Structure 1
């Protein structure tokens, strides 16, 4: 086994900060996430990382929560990438169209390349009952997807899940082909899981999973949303669901991912699980 990684990066899922009392039923402590986030950033700053990605649900609710939590990231000495989750849209309706820009994202979905790896960050909220503005046809499309899933007896037809639209799907397919032509391996990033089967999975998880199965250069799919965490392997791709930082009064959850030529090592902090993922 080679001992020097090609690069490392940090992962945070679901800090879900807000100045709120704990949700004891769900064991979530949104106000405590600010302390946990600062501690995670201190740890990340002790390492040589290419970047740190936050996999969505930066806040729990309320626009003002962004103004408290985003400054914490200013202490990070590494490049930062954000994705958005369902809770990031629990804001007043006039802000729905500007969340991505407010967080400093280049767009709601995007990609970037590092050391022979293409990272593809998806917007899993595109079709949902919370992210598009009121009256947008994508809200009805999400309702139709949920009804179809319910009729089929699927686990994931819930209003807290979302889907990617046709244009984004075509963009993803094109990016996968582009990466293949460039000899790049691919790591996908999304707020929503798509595998294994779970109540938190994206509303069109089967469609995305089928697309990824066509490509042997997709090595991993990283997500949050299901705070309990999860893990699976399908068609040679690893699916890693990172645990929610917001959960529990005093324990944290985040990770450093080290990418080697022959494997990927996930080093978990707090409740997060450490794993070694052999590359084919």
Structure 2
């Protein structure tokens, strides 16, 4: 007897609740094609804008409009900083997003921090914290201003939690700040290489300069939100920059400290 479920039967009996769009690694730059840091993958800097435009057109024309779009970081490429084009390139991409008919939730990846300081991002259009859900009588579920994270409810009984995967990182930090010193200390304790972006010889290859992790403060907040969701029988989706989830590349795992 074949116990495998019939996909068509599941589709017929399933109720469509809501949908959402996801896009990552746009990495726009007004440059000719190039390659990634390792030189292993081709990058289509100008052409990426066409892919974004195509995605927006598809989302806008869906018969069932998505409730929102998740932009998972690296919205412009780090090369923009070398050409003093960071703000201009960001403006080009954000102008393109204006054509989208639904809200966009932005996360911050390493390329955001190659182009901008954290303070700049906090006051930029890439900060979509204004879309957060505020739970009455549960102040413990309100995130701190010390990291970029929030949660929202796209549909009843579903909670999306957007996390700051560079809360602990040397990228985008004021180098005179205690937190920068703390992060550099963590990095060098786990990575003795002269080139801190290299995972060569590391037993924990995630400890590279282009990576980061969560502070204990953010983890404590996450625990409070998850506890609330568990108590209220909500389904949870964790949202974080795309690179840190690339399981095929150990160096893209998050910093984990004891």
Is the 1:6–1:115 contact (alpha carbons within 8 Å) kept by the matching residues of 2? no
Query: Partner of 2:183 in structure 1?
Result: 142
Query: Partner of 2:255 in structure 1?
Result: 203
Is the 1:18–1:31 contact (alpha carbons within 8 Å) kept by the matching residues of 2? yes
Q: Secondary structure of 1:120's match? A: strand
Count the aligned residue pairs: 204
Give the greater-gyration-radius structure (CA). Answer: 2
Aligned structure 1 segments of 4 or more residues deviating by more than 3 angstroms: 147-152, 194-197
Is the 2:175–2:181 contact (alpha carbons within 8 Å) kept by the matching residues of 1? no
Alignment of 1:218-257 (within 5 A): none
Change (3 A) 1:60 1:194: closer
**Cα separation, 1, equivalents of 2:221 and 2:246:** 18
Residue 91 of structure 1: how far off its partner (Å): 2.4
Alignment of 1:93-132 (within 5 A): 95-102=117-124, 103-106=126-129, 108-113=148-153, 114-132=155-173
Q: Secondary structure of 2:206's match? A: coil
Change (3 A) 1:194 1:145: farther
- Runs of 5+ unmatched residues, structure 1: 208-280
Alignment of 1:31-180 (within 5 A): 31-47=46-62, 48-61=65-78, 62-91=86-115, 95-102=117-124, 103-106=126-129, 108-113=148-153, 114-150=155-191, 153-180=203-230
Residue 6 of structure 1: how far off its partner (Å): 1.4
Query: Which structure has the highest helix share of the two?
Result: 2
Residue 202 of structure 1: how far off its partner (Å): 1.3
Give the aligned CA root-mean-square deviation in angstroms: 2.2
- Runs of 5+ unmatched residues, structure 2: 1-9, 79-85, 131-147, 193-201
Deviations 1:134-164 (A, max 9, x none): 2222223322333344477112111110111
Residue 23 of structure 1: how far off its partner (Å): 1.8
**Cα separation, 2, equivalents of 1:19 and 1:196:** 29
Is the 1:112–1:119 contact (alpha carbons within 8 Å) kept by the matching residues of 2? yes
Q: Secondary structure of 2:152's match? A: strand
**Of residues 5, 9, 17 in structure 2, which corresponds to 1:6?**
17
Q: Secondary structure of 1:75's match? A: coil
Query: Which structure has the highest strand share of the two?
Result: 1
Deviations 1:48-107 (A, max 9, x none): 211111011111132321111101111111121111111012225xx5302133124117
Deviations 1:229-278 (A, max 9, x none): xxxxxxxxxxxxxxxxxxxxxxxxxxxxxxxxxxxxxxxxxxxxxxxxxx
Tell me if 1:17 matches 2:28.
yes
